[in-house]
Structure 1
Amino acid sequence: MKQRFLIILTVIVLLPIKLAAADTLTVEQKLVSEYSRMTVFRNQVWQNAAIRYDQRPFTLTDISVKGLYDQRGNAALAQEGNGKKDFSAEVNSFLVLNQSSRLFGQASYRNGRRKNVVWNENSDYSMLYPYVVGDSIGGFMKEEEYKFSGGYAYRFGKWTAGAEIGYRAVIAYRDKDPRPRNIISDLQASVALARNLNEKYTLGLSVQVRKYNQKSDIKFLADKGSTSVYQMLGLGMDYIRFAGTQTSTRYTGSGIGGSIDLLPVSQNGENNGFSVSLRTDYFHLTKQLSNLDYTPINEIKNIDVSLETAWTRQIREWEYGVHLLAALQQRTGVENIFGEPSGNSYPKLSSIDQFKNTTLKAGLKGRIGQTLDTNCRWGWTLLPSVGYGQTKPEYKSNGRYVEIASASGGLEAQSLWKVSKMLLSASVAGGYTTNVKSEYSLPGLDTQKSAGSALLSNIDYLSDDHASIALKLRGDYVVNKQYALFLSANWLHQEYKNCGGTDRIEVSLGVTF
């Protein structure tokens, strides 16, 4: 795995170096353009591989190594741990091959460790929940992740075609009882088509498919023997029939989705005007017990719908923008009921929709600023924002539910200076999130047991008011016309009313060309 990944990483690094001679812009011009470009104000629309042709008018590649430290204390989900340390290396590249073709790719390696994970021995909790394998002991979790993706866009007349494929592989484990070992493969692919409409807008359509697999095994090697593991069902419930010694599971999933996207035609490298992107994805996941002839005990049906709209305008050195993102997720959990077994085979009798979770998020952001151009040594941007979020998980048979809603507001100030061969950027952001609604009903929950205590701790965290402050610093040193070195540091502190404080620090070192 590592040898294959290094080969792919080397190809992605060397390809843009070979093509760099065809680019007439200096790396300093590219960096200044990247800092001031309004394209970064949009996100979802660039997931369309055909529309990504217009993401930037020049070739750009960056290679970086990163270190991450995240300490959350009590302000964390029990199933995801309360701390993280990561080291990663990453390559991102966007290549303008010629007037008609664009090539883009990404490759990364991450080696990390999460702390104090309980009631979850699997990886990708946000994808698998609530149907994880859990126990009260838990502990740290070591992780290795490999990712790579590549895409191509080709323009012919008023039409643009694009395709992209991405693959992620993860190995997660613990070398202390209980000893899970999770192996993940996650393959995604998309095709897209876009057409220029009256030289003002580009209309695009895309289709995405996904194939997911996670194999998980738990071993106990200590002399004291094994402890019970549980097949969790959500809101403190577990599948009692299969509790105890079922330590091998397999998750298989597949998904399909699509998007319709509208983007202003690029003028001088900027897509100023109104854009909209509507995306929907459906994902189906099955959990199987490997030791019982791969008995499928649970299923997840997940629907995601997201709408992104943005308006941007640039008048000489002044820039303005408004961005709106609204997302809805509907997750249904299915429990399969089985009859008496014949050997390791369990006959399926029926299926019941027991778990349901509806999540809604909406955010509005504004932008006003003055760009840094050839006649200016200083540029600045202000980004005010407001947001709202709501989640309501329910377990139908016993009437358990939790409903939490929160509202937030914040302001970010960014600044960029040009000093000799240095480009210096800094941003400071502050915000506050307040609870709007927090209520729950958990009949029959034993709060003295570990599972019940973890659930209440999660509710306290998700409904807690908190303030946040973030600081980002970056310096780019222009070595010559082709290369620049950069160093960046990001710090985020959150102070919760009841759960205490959190700190997240990330440091990156890299080269851009």
Structure 2
Amino acid sequence: MRPRFLILSMTTIACLLPIRLIAINIQTVESMAADTLTAGEKLTVEQKLLSEYSHSTTFCKQAGQNIAIRYDLRPFSLTTVSLNGLYEERGNAALAQEGNGEKGFSAKVNSSVVLNQHNRLFGTASYRNGRRENVIWNENSDYSLLYPYVVGDSIGGYMKEEAYQFSGGYTHRHGKWTAGAEVDYRAVIAYRDKDPRPRNVISDLRASLALSRQLGRKYRLGLSVQARQYNQKSDIRYLADKGSTSVYQMLGLGMDYVRFAGSQTSSRYIGSGIGGSIDLLPTNGHGACDGFSASLRTDYFHLTKELPNVNYAPINEVKHTTLSLESAWTHRNREWEYGVRLLAAWQQRTGIENIFGDPTGSAYPKISSVAQYKNHTLQAALKGMIGQRPDGARRWGWTLLPTASYGQTKLEYKGNGRYVEIASAHGGLEAQSLWKMSGILLSASLAGGYTANVKSGYSLTGLDSKGSVSTTLLSNIDYLSDGHASLALGLRGDYAVNDRYAVFLSAHWLHQEYSRCGGTDRIEVSLGVTF
């Protein structure tokens, strides 16, 4: 019970910062000099929401991860409290290790507070309770972070999850300089109350420091550094009379660590990471990105998998490097806003297998290491924007967002020459509309697109196509290489109760239709208050 008690204690702490931010927000929103458009004209909650609906700010998404840059993206206090529900059904169009369905609910608080013209606070807190369906060949959580080195079996089943997350940040501006710091903590308990019964306990801590400086009248240059510490402990139990089944230490592309197959039902993952960014943001004094922006970010993460029952032998390691570049140009005036954004990303993931000699007592001496698993990924995306903003006497606005992207990935297991190579191209268009009427903001969006397979090939030397793990691998390849069409619909209504408070209700639906794998549906609903 101690890990659960620790997580609940951290959750209590997590709630304190956003609640404190809300209290500060309520006490100071009347007197904030920064919450003004012009001298003597205070921003209403409706005006703040109209600013939030602007797409020019979201075009600086990567640069906004720098907390010193974020100082300029929202020049007013705003807090959102929401309750959210999620339902997803994917059928055969899913990675087996992540399940083919999800349902759950969450509660979230997001707050930013302008204390005065020199100091700002940011904070979030959330709780999520959900369940993933039909997870096989993976008894761990955070598959996208651990793969391919998970503990797997052919039985699997549903996975229940409780997640707690909070973050807090502070920025200070002095002259042309802005400095900031931010801490983010996530805790997860995942389990199944049916054999096999995994219990995963996760702690994930991130911290960042950032600095920015005004360059002339138009631009701000920022630097940031980030650090991360990750831990996951997993244990599998069997309580049914029929006893336990074999579990496997997976190595990728259908391979497993034969020496440790069978009864090693406990695992521990320890990871650490470091990263940094250089960011350039246009600033015009109103919090909008208006002009050319750019952000170059790199991250490195190292993960070690240990088996506690064999003296914590470190059987696998992962080295993951990411490099991403985002550049954008936007322009907005009283009536129009338009822009274009280019995002390019490169990832390299290397998996290392440690080889051990005969044990001496309970110790397994490591005699060599082999980099067997490789995964290279390239992505490029181009997004445009053009639209009219509701302003003054005009109560209706619209936006068109065309997108085009290309991605390719190659997975290799060098020991037997296995590989999978997939490339795809995507094109789509999203149309959004916003109506303003008597304290009510109504927004609607409709998006459609198609993802086409450009290249698909694999070689799986020695694979037994009739085995469970082989069937799962081939099913995953079919899904990842399958072309599909998508259709999304979103609706949201905000009602301003008065100048300070607004309530909102939103719903989003996404349907994907795959050529071979069938259809998927995802529905999200939210109810909340903004002030």
Report the alpha carbon displacement of residue 275 of structure 1 after superposing the two structures with TM: 0.4
Distance 1:114 1:208, change over 3 A: same
Residue in 2 that maps onto 1:290: 308
Q: Which of the residues 22, 27, 30 maps onto 1:18?
A: 27
Tell me the alpha carbon deviations over residues 178-223 of structure 1, each in whole angstroms, 9 at most, x when there is no partner: 0000000000000011111112211111000000000000001100
Alignment of 1:294-305 (within 5 A): 294-305=312-323
Amino acid at match of 2:18: I
TM-score by length of 2: 0.95
Report the alpha carbon displacement of residue 102 of structure 1 after superposing the two structures with TM: 1.3
Residue in 2 that maps onto 1:384: 402
Q: Distance in 1 between matches of 2:516 and 2:364?
A: 47
Tell me the alpha carbon deviations over residues 287-332 of structure 1, each in whole angstroms, 9 at most, x when there is no partner: 0001111000000000011111110011331111101111111000
Tell me the alpha carbon deviations over residues 326-367 of structure 1, each in whole angstroms, 9 at most, x when there is no partner: 111100000000000123211100000000000111110000
Residue in 2 that maps onto 1:142: 160
Q: Distance in 1 between matches of 2:216 and 2:264?
A: 61
Residue in 2 that maps onto 1:58: 76
Structure 2 unaligned residues grouped into runs of 5+: 1-6, 33-41
Residue in 2 that maps onto 1:443: 461
Q: Which of the residues 14, 39, 51 maps onto 1:8?
A: 14
Q: Distance in 1 between matches of 2:11 and 2:365?
A: 43
Q: Distance in 2 between matches of 1:98 and 1:507?
A: 35
Q: Which of the residues 205, 215, 223 maps onto 1:205?
A: 223
Q: Distance in 2 between matches of 1:212 and 1:95?
A: 29
Alignment of 1:112-191 (within 5 A): 112-191=130-209
Tell me the alpha carbon deviations over residues 412-459 of structure 1, each in whole angstroms, 9 at most, x when there is no partner: 000000122211000000000000000000010111010000000000
Amino acid at match of 2:90: R
Amino acid at match of 1:22: S
Tell me the alpha carbon deviations over residues 453-484 of structure 1, each in whole angstroms, 9 at most, x when there is no partner: 00000000000010000000000011011100
Distance 1:11 1:351, change over 3 A: closer
Q: Distance in 2 between matches of 1:146 and 1:425?
A: 30
Q: Distance in 2 between matches of 1:82 and 1:507?
A: 20
Q: Distance in 2 between matches of 1:22 and 1:293?
A: 61
Contact 2:234 2:267 in 1 (8 A): yes
| Cα-Cα RMSD | 1.0
Q: SS of 2:97's equivalent?
A: helix
Q: Distance in 1 between matches of 2:452 and 2:193?
A: 40
How many residue pairs are counted as aligned between the two chains?
513
Tell me the alpha carbon deviations over residues 153-180 of structure 1, each in whole angstroms, 9 at most, x when there is no partner: 1111111101110000000000000000
Alignment of 1:360-375 (within 5 A): 360-375=378-393
Q: Distance in 2 between matches of 1:252 and 1:30?
A: 42
Report the alpha carbon displacement of residue 268 of structure 1 after superposing the two structures with TM: 2.8
Contact 2:17 2:123 in 1 (8 A): no
Contact 2:120 2:171 in 1 (8 A): yes
Q: Which of the residues 344, 351, 354 maps onto 1:326?
A: 344
Q: Distance in 2 between matches of 1:37 and 1:431?
A: 20
Tell me the alpha carbon deviations over residues 482-505 of structure 1, each in whole angstroms, 9 at most, x when there is no partner: 100000000000000000000000
Q: SS of 1:241's equivalent?
A: helix
Report the alpha carbon displacement of residue 3 of structure 1 after superposing the two structures with TM: 5.3
Contact 1:246 1:289 in 2 (8 A): yes
Q: SS of 2:30's equivalent?
A: helix
Amino acid at match of 2:393: N
Report the alpha carbon displacement of residue 375 of structure 1 after superposing the two structures with TM: 1.7
Q: Distance in 2 between matches of 1:39 and 1:160?
A: 19
Contact 2:348 2:377 in 1 (8 A): yes
Amino acid at match of 1:419: M
Does structure 1 residue 467 correspond to structure 2 residue 485?
yes
Residue in 2 that maps onto 1:258: 276
Contact 2:17 2:168 in 1 (8 A): no
Report the alpha carbon displacement of residue 2 of structure 1 after superposing the two structures with TM: 3.2
Q: SS of 2:144's equivalent?
A: helix
Report the alpha carbon displacement of residue 267 of structure 1 after superposing the two structures with TM: 3.4
Contact 2:221 2:279 in 1 (8 A): yes
Report the alpha carbon displacement of residue 19 of structure 1 after superposing the two structures with TM: 2.6
Extract structure 1 runs of 4+ deviating beyond 6 A.
none
Amino acid at match of 1:19: T
Residue in 1 that maps onto 2:38: none
Residue in 1 that maps onto 2:3: none
Contact 2:334 2:391 in 1 (8 A): no
Distance 1:25 1:315, change over 3 A: closer
Amino acid at match of 1:467: A
Q: SS of 2:71's equivalent?
A: helix
Q: SS of 1:448's equivalent?
A: coil
Contact 1:66 1:87 in 2 (8 A): yes
Q: Which of the residues 374, 377, 380 maps onto 1:359?
A: 377
Does structure 1 residue 240 correspond to structure 2 residue 246?
no
Contact 2:60 2:289 in 1 (8 A): no
Contact 1:37 1:270 in 2 (8 A): no
Report the alpha carbon displacement of residue 369 of structure 1 after superposing the two structures with TM: 0.2
Identity of aligned residues (%): 72
Contact 1:487 1:507 in 2 (8 A): yes
Does structure 1 residue 476 correspond to structure 2 residue 494?
yes
Q: Distance in 1 between matches of 2:481 and 2:267?
A: 32
Q: SS of 1:126's equivalent?
A: helix
Amino acid at match of 1:148: F
Structure 1 unaligned residues grouped into runs of 5+: none
Does structure 1 residue 34 correspond to structure 2 residue 52?
yes
Alignment of 1:391-406 (within 5 A): 391-406=409-424
Tell me the alpha carbon deviations over residues 118-177 of structure 1, each in whole angstroms, 9 at most, x when there is no partner: 000000000000000000000000000000001111111111101110000000000000
Amino acid at match of 1:35: Y
Contact 1:407 1:433 in 2 (8 A): yes
